[in-house]
Amino acid sequence: MINKAKGTYDVLPTESHKWASLEEKAREILTLFGYKEIRTPIFEYSEVFHRVNEQSDMVTKETYDFFDKGERQLTLRPEGTAGVIRSFVENKLYVENNLNKLFYIGPNFRYERPQKGRFRQFMQFGVEAIGSNDPALDAEVIGLAYFFIKKLGLKGVKVRINSLGDQDSRVAFKAALTAHFTPHKETLCEDCKNRLDKNPLRILDCKIDQKHPAVLSAPTPQDHLNDFSRDYFQAVLDYLDSAHITYEIASKLVRGLDYYTHTVFEIEADIEGFGAQNVLGGGGRYQSLVKELGGPDLPGIGFAFGMERLLLAMEAEEISFVDQHQPDIFILAIDKPARELAVKLLFEAREQNLVADMDYTGTNFKSQFKAALKSNSKYVIIIGEAELSNKVVSIKNTETQEQEQVPVKIAIRTIKNWLGK
């Protein structure tokens, strides 16, 4: 037996309806906010992700990189934004609209230690709003993320928000971090020693040194915002207040990607016993990513949610999706003539948009009945010798256990009326 690869999982038929329902809910709400779906390749040329200005752990340590038969270096996408921006630039979507509001749903890949709610292949959905520097757009994107989590039925939804400021503010903040951490360099983990030289912001994100005294006492981005950045951030907060969106300022929040500037945020839900998994997703604004990937100098803002974590959160809160695969009809047939009629009725039912099935394993009538019960079908059609002789079928309501005979010609129409379809 060959097992699945480490860090991956199978979505079995008993669980797939949950994924489909979550995706359907995402599409419903994203469309409500005016976002249109974009689908990009699962792998890209490596330079889409491995950019000079991107030194996050995700890119430097966790990507799946390979050469194809043409010796081209490719990378399985570790996140959705860069591929969307590459497509945005390549297809010149900026010519069609001043503001492009896009969303995506699909798998991503990171080589990291698997744990609860975190896998090497994982599903994300996210949004990108490209083309505007309006702080009201920041508030809309944050509001969309907030609205979605609330619509799922999760409780205590909260926004944690911070500002990294513009490029000048970031430069001042990096200089302050470098000065702060340099005296402590030898006590930092090996990764953070390297980060100190390349990008000291990443030290604030380190899982190993998160409780290091120097990290706890480190300066914050808020301490180094210039007037423009401070006013921009306040405008975002004002718009959130107008929309009655609950938030707290998380002064050391930097998120995990280097292209973020100005607004960064995370969405939490108050889930008992969920621990660090309470952070369900997040994102931020980026000013130079479009230009880095060969496009015009356009800003954007977006977020992403891990769908595995959302489903775990819903399970912890005992929020369930209706199983969309519950059949309307299951047909039992006693012999070959009865099975011929059953096949005819199956196709008639499906033409009427009813979910219908029958047993194809050639088992006896008793085994077929067990299969019908296991299917959790709403109605069972029984075709025995007496039914064939009288050109009727017996229809049983599996909830009420009531059963009656109906002429074959109107059997499917009758069930459809009972279902109210």
Q: What does the pLDDT profile of the chain (421 residues) look like in tens digits?
A: 999 999 999 999 889 989 999 999 999 999 999 999 999 999 999 999 998 777 677 777 899 999 999 999 999 999 999 999 999 999 999 998 899 999 999 999 999 888 887 899 999 999 999 999 999 999 999 999 999 999 999 988 889 999 999 989 988 888 888 889 888 888 888 888 888 877 788 788 777 888 888 888 888 888 899 999 999 999 999 999 999 999 999 988 887 667 888 999 999 888 876 765 588 999 999 999 999 999 999 999 999 999 999 999 998 888 887 666 678 999 999 889 999 999 999 999 999 999 999 988 867 888 888 888 888 899 999 999 999 999 999 999 999 999 999 999 999 999 999 998 8
**What CATH number corresponds to the domain at position 383?**
3.40.50.800
213, 211, 215: which is closest to 196 by C-alpha?
215
Whether 220 is in a domain gets the answer: no
Q: 206 in a domain, yes or no?
A: no
Q: Are 65 and 100 part of one and the same domain? A: yes
Q: Measured at the alpha carbon of residue 38, what is the angle toward residues 62 and 41, in degrees to the nearest 5?
A: 45
Same structural domain for residues 285 and 393? no
User: Domain of 108: which CATH number?
Assistant: 3.30.930.10
Whether 162 is in a domain gets the answer yes
Structural domain contains residue 27: yes
Q: Domain limits at 60?
A: 13-166+226-316
Continuous segment of H or E residues that includes residue 27: helix 13-32
Q: Which two tokens stand for residue 43?
A: 């792998």
CA distance 101 to 30: 10
Complete edge-to-edge strand list for the sheet that includes strand 392-397: 356-358, 329-333, 379-383, 392-397, 403-407
Given 268, 293, 316, the domain boundary residue is 316
Same domain, 304 and 345: no
- Do both 399 and 286 map to the same domain? no
Query: Total domain count for the chain?
Result: 2
pTM value is 0.86
Q: What do you get for the CA distance between the two ends of the chain, in Å?
A: 45
Same domain, yes or no, for 357 and 297?
A: no
Asked if 259 and 142 sit in the same domain, the reply is yes
Do 268 and 373 lie in a common domain? no
Total number of residues shown for the chain: 421
Residues 408 and 372 in one domain: yes
Measure Cα distances from 211 to 56, 203, 206 in Å.
20, 11, 9
Separation of alpha carbons 319 and 210, rounded Å: 33
SS3 label, residue 46: helix
Do the domain assignments include residue 2?
A: no
Does residue 377 share a domain with residue 311?
A: no
